[in-house]
Amino acid sequence: MGIARPIANVGRFAAEQVGDLGRFTVFSASAFRWIFTDFTRWRLLRPQLYEVGVRSLPVIIFTGAFVGMVLALQSYPQFELLGRASWLGAVVNLSVVKELGPVLAGVMIAGRVGGALAAGLGTMKVTEQIDALRAMGAEPIRHLVVPRFLACLLLIPFLTVYCDFVGIVGGYVVAWGYGVDTHEYWMHSASAIENWDIFAGVFKSVFFGAAIALISCYKGFQSRQGAEGVGRAATEAFVVSFMAILILDLFIVMFLQGLYDALWARTSVFLS
Amino acid sequence: MSASEPIRVEPDSGEPTPAAQDQPQAVIRLEGVSKQFGGHQVFRDLTLEFRRGETTVVLGASGVGKSVMLKLILGLMKPDAGRIFIDGAEITTLSERRLMPVRMRFGMLFQGSALFDFLTVYENVAFAVREHKNWPEARIREVVRQKLALVDMEGTENLLPEELSGGMRKRVGLARAIAIDPEVILYDEPTTGLDPVTADTINSLLLRCQRELKTTSIVVTHDMASAYKVGDRLVMLHEGGVIADGPPEAIRRHSDVRVQRFIHGDASLAAAPPQGDIP
């Protein structure tokens, strides 16, 4: 008797999670169906491009710059001890391009855009604007989700490139401040970073953008009544998007490393 | 008397009309509809129909399911049991995509107006026209101008919903609801939250729309002044069913104490209504 209750609670929680995953899958499938059967209209997409792209730029630049600078600051003493300070650029820039740029850009966008998407759609739901759309014979997923999804999908890779660029500049500014030779700094950076690395970072960001948009829109559509419901939807959108970014990152890195190894033999630039 | 057994008042014949009787003029028919939220039973085997060209006012206390009824009619919610017919065709089992042409026959004024806050007044009113008619912008502009003129809101085209007062939002919501000349207009609490003068203006607009567009209207409200002014027929919901159904005068003289409490706004009313001539 005593153990039945906790087991029932676990079972109920599991059933809720599975149900939620099923609803999310149907929601995502519906968004994809609209993209491929009836492409969104420019007048719906344009404001979302502005919201996701232009308005996210300051926070992305800020994040990228500080990540690059901090990484260079923390790495420099070790490289100097080894007498290879000019290799600082290789480590900082490779870290920024392959991992920190895409992931931190994704996290910042999950916070800024994802939260706003969930709160905006949640407010539309509780003020019956989504019902009004349906009442007028319009499909809410096509009108509200598809433009937001496409804006995230198209612009997060560009924002990631901005984040990478600013991070690289930030790292160089610190290295320059320490007196690292500029020519050698960039020469080692260039030898360490391949086009594949840049591609890998940008490739990941496409998936991060899709996950952020779908999760945030879904949470907004599932928002409960009242200010608390909308607030909770925004919070959950960020938390779940953040977790999704980390999980996707792991699997995409595994996939890309396997693909790289299959295509080219792996060698370390530091051992060559 | 159980809540699911309505007292139907028909002064012309003096005879109750069987709820299940098929009437050709019934544009909307709810048949044995039940709906439950959590443990709360909103409708229990509800049967009700709305006749063409008539303005039916649905009355009832807060939480009785008036707004839910409108959403069931539009297919925005599905009933747990029962069937809903529009012009004799069942819509209960239709998919979202197949419901779209059905919904185009309706216009709905939402309780909080539900104007799209990211669109201007012009874009709000033009929304359904753009969605369903492949018209040039000049023609859409003319339709929007006409509808805004009908609700005395000319010159507000470029304003955003946040720049409008509650009464103005209701008017724009009404203009949006009638933009594609629907056959049926559903009004969800059209006067709630408005001062008495603005509420009366909305009632007059509602009558004007009814007169000029010749629509079937369903008005959900708990505002008795509004109900008496706009209704050809009043229906009162209570605990999952209809407890009164008839013309305004008959409802005013209804024998059920729950009806009298509601229409007089007096919870302490014991039994007999204040007027005689009880049916």
Greater confidence, B6 or B206?
B206
pLDDT computed for residue B62 by the predictor: 86
Residues of A in contact with B106 (CB under 8 A): 135
β-bridge partners, B35: B43
Phi-psi region of B48 (alpha: psi -120 to 50; beta: other; left: phi over 0): beta
What is the rounded CA–CA span in Å between residue B73 and residue B93? 12
Is pLDDT of A215 > 50?
A: yes
- Beta carbons of A129 and B71 less than 8 Å apart: no
pLDDT computed for residue B63 by the predictor: 85
Task: With residue B270 as reference, give the H or E element that holds it.
Answer: none
Nearest C-alpha of chain B: how many angstroms from A175?
47
Residues of A in contact with B128 (CB under 8 A): 136-138
| pLDDT digit string, tens, across residues A80-103 | 898 888 889 999 999 999 999 999
Nearest CA in chain A to B114: A129
CB-nearest partner of B103 from A47, A128, A135: A135
- Beta carbons of B100 and A137 less than 8 Å apart: yes
| pLDDT digit string, tens, across residues B227-241 | 999 999 999 998 888
For B34, the 3-state DSSP assignment is strand
CA count, 13 A, side-chain hemisphere, B120 = 9
- Beta carbons of B118 and A136 less than 8 Å apart: no
Q: How would residue A34 be classed by pLDDT, with cut points 50, 70 and 90?
A: confident
- Beta carbons of A129 and B128 less than 8 Å apart: no
Residues 6+ apart with CB under 8 A from B60: B66, B222, B236, B237, B238, B262
Is pLDDT of B275 > 80?
A: no
Nearest of A71, A67, A60, A66 to residue A111 by alpha carbon: A60
CB-nearest partner of A137 from B104, B115, B118: B104
pLDDT computed for residue B61 by the predictor: 87
Within-domain flag for B237: yes
Residues 6+ apart with CB under 8 A from B215: B53, B107, B178, B182, B183, B184, B185, B209
Is pLDDT of B18 > 70?
A: no
Given CB atoms, is B63 within the 8 Å cutoff of chain A?
no
Instruction: Report the pLDDT averaged over residues A60-78.
Output: 93
| pLDDT digit string, tens, across residues A115-137 | 999 999 999 999 999 999 999 98
pLDDT computed for residue A227 by the predictor: 80
What is the rounded CA–CA span in Å between residue A124 and residue A244? 25
pLDDT computed for residue B4 by the predictor: 41
- Beta carbons of A131 and B110 less than 8 Å apart: yes
CA A150 to chain CA centroid, nearest Å: 14
pLDDT computed for residue B24 by the predictor: 44
Within-domain flag for B130: no
Instruction: Report the pLDDT averaged over residues B183-197.
Output: 88
For chain B, the domain total comes to 1
Q: How would residue B17 be classed by pLDDT, with cut points 50, 70 and 90?
A: very low
Kindly list the distances between the CA atom of residue B86 and the CA atoms of A105, B50, B72, B103, B162, in Å, as whole numbers in the listed order. 51, 10, 11, 10, 35
Given CB atoms, is B128 within the 8 Å cutoff of chain A?
yes
Within-domain flag for B206: no
Which residues on chain A place their C-beta less than 8 Å from a C-beta of chain B? 47, 123-124, 127-129, 131-139
pLDDT computed for residue A266 by the predictor: 62
Given CB atoms, is B96 within the 8 Å cutoff of chain A?
yes
Is pLDDT of A272 > 60?
A: no
CA count, 13 A, side-chain hemisphere, A123 = 11
- DSSP result, B57-82: EEE--TTSSHHHHHHHHHTSS--SEE
Instruction: Report the pLDDT averaged over residues B238-253.
Output: 89
CB-nearest partner of A137 from B111, B112, B131: B131
Is pLDDT of B84 > 50?
A: yes
- Beta carbons of A134 and B74 less than 8 Å apart: yes
Is pLDDT of A269 > 80?
A: no
Within-domain flag for B147: no
Within-domain flag for B224: yes
Q: How would residue A267 be classed by pLDDT, with cut points 50, 70 and 90?
A: low
pLDDT computed for residue B7 by the predictor: 42
CATH number, residue B249? 3.40.50.300
- Beta carbons of A134 and B110 less than 8 Å apart: no
| pLDDT digit string, tens, across residues B19-76 | 444 444 789 999 999 999 888 889 999 999 999 989 999 999 888 899 999 999 999 9
Tell me which residue range forms the domain holding B245: 1-7+25-101+214-271
| pLDDT digit string, tens, across residues B140-165 | 999 999 999 988 899 999 999 999 99
User: What ipTM does this complex have?
Assistant: 0.81
Is pLDDT of B6 > 60?
A: no
- DSSP result, A252-266: HHHHHHHHHHHHS--
Is pLDDT of A199 > 80?
A: yes
Structure token pair of residue B32: 């044995």
Mean pLDDT over each residue of chain A, to the nearest integer: 90
Is pLDDT of A265 > 90?
A: no
Q: How would residue B123 be classed by pLDDT, with cut points 50, 70 and 90?
A: very high
Nearest C-alpha of chain B: how many angstroms from A114?
18
Residues of A in contact with B96 (CB under 8 A): 134, 139
Best mutation target among A136, A141, A144 (most B Cβ atoms within 10 Å) is: A136
Within-domain flag for B32: yes
Give residue limits of the domains in chain A. 23-263
Within-domain flag for B83: yes
Q: How would residue A1 be classed by pLDDT, with cut points 50, 70 and 90?
A: low
Is pLDDT of B2 > 60?
A: no
pLDDT computed for residue A25 by the predictor: 94
- Beta carbons of A134 and B103 less than 8 Å apart: yes
pLDDT computed for residue B16 by the predictor: 38
Within-domain flag for B234: yes
Mean pLDDT over each residue of chain B, to the nearest integer: 84
Contact A32, A141 (CB under 8 A): no
